[in-house]
Structure 1
């Protein structure tokens, strides 16, 4: 598939990370400036034996694979293709959710011994999920992958307030509440955008408490650049009616945010003591702290009702305190 791309710092850049029960970065996106050099590097990759920890690999790629130092560029789509031939022994839903919150378009490809439920949790939407019976059949996916990757653009982020009560369980992508609301929202929005030429899919970037403890949904809309304006106008018009299909929404709550031009990354020290649970993104303690920090940031800054604020990581700072890294989509002044 590599031979079909123009490789270079101003063209397509490809990085490879191999994983089993551990993660090994073979090379970053900006390691090679020519197609031949990239192809030779791929041919030299040695098979990594071990178990299958797909969640760990996705978390690694999301955190390090798309860094600007590795070749990521503003205004250029970030596409992750996960190829797995086994069942992951760790949680894949949370890492994939975090990747989508960062605007990464995720493909999930299962080979032979895959777990379909896990692939569905990994993929951005049903258009980015594919399965084959063996590795020899991967070539059959070439055309669809090429079309999807070449057409990929940075997402347009939109927000809307749902007329339902917020629950902390909406922070957990494996919960029934998260799945129910997400599936309904994706179905209604896909139906809304289905007639738009250039529409590629949507993924849910997160849920937050809004005024009155309602649910503020942040959604990544993947659409061709020429159709982005049309998609946002259709979204705003639909929200203004007070419903997205069968879902009741606040009619004045539509927000459109361009991630690449209105993104602010901030870090703050939290006066909480560190515990093992706070270093585990799947723990209830971690989820509760994230919700508290995001709510406090929005309450402190009067403009944050027009933003989407997400904690992207919590790490140990000096002493036993914690540093929260936040990504705020929107103009915070």
Structure 2
């Protein structure tokens, strides 16, 4: 059994061709798609976070709203850019959203991706410490966040508080028990996957990865997952870790599917640069008739290694069509691959 979720970037554009023309559309349709996905039997609803863009941004109001409208489905992010985050305030937001959702949050965090603006985190009030770069700052924010999620007291109480305090040092409230074990790190390299394991976070690996060996994307990603699991075992953690990968997968079951994605099945891995110095390999999309799609996916080594698969959805095509995309995978593909 493999857990299946969707991953939405939450794009919107004021275009007649888009079903998602405003920020309000993107947010409300995200909630509706999560509800529809739960009804179809999907396991997770995940949302991307981008700042300064016509996409989903601040995640916690959305996660809390989805939590009130659903009962079973996991609710997550992929990923929150920690360069922009105040760890203390984020612990409050995350704790509140997780309690509203009944302990269903699965928070993907990371050092972030290429941005819409130059050093956007500076506009949020953050600067790397002397001798650090923005990536170091993001990882430092993450480590503080993880430590605070343990719920241990650290703040000296006032001798004259407005309300009575419990004994000892105070922790950030509200505290959601177990959320610390449901934090994921979005990793694009083998080294950060190992670092992720040492800190006891679950692993998210997306549709791109640092090109470290020149091999096919799925082969490099599978090796990354194996390195992560080996590091997890070496670190001596007692719980079982989770690993997710993301893919664009479309089962072509009607003429509309073929019109939208018929040519996507001809795609191949692509090479490029995610910044001035990092060469990356971008994974192919999958789009084919169900029987062909099943045979193609059997050869994807990273999907086989992961316990969770996130399906990227074309959110601007509307809730009904995206629900159809999800249902087609659940009906025609997942059973044949043993995922259901």
**What TM-score, normalized by structure 1, do the two folds share?**
0.28
Q: Which has the higher strand share?
A: 1
**What TM-score, normalized by structure 2, do the two folds share?**
0.27
Which structure has more relative contact order (CA 8 Å, sep 6+)? It is 2
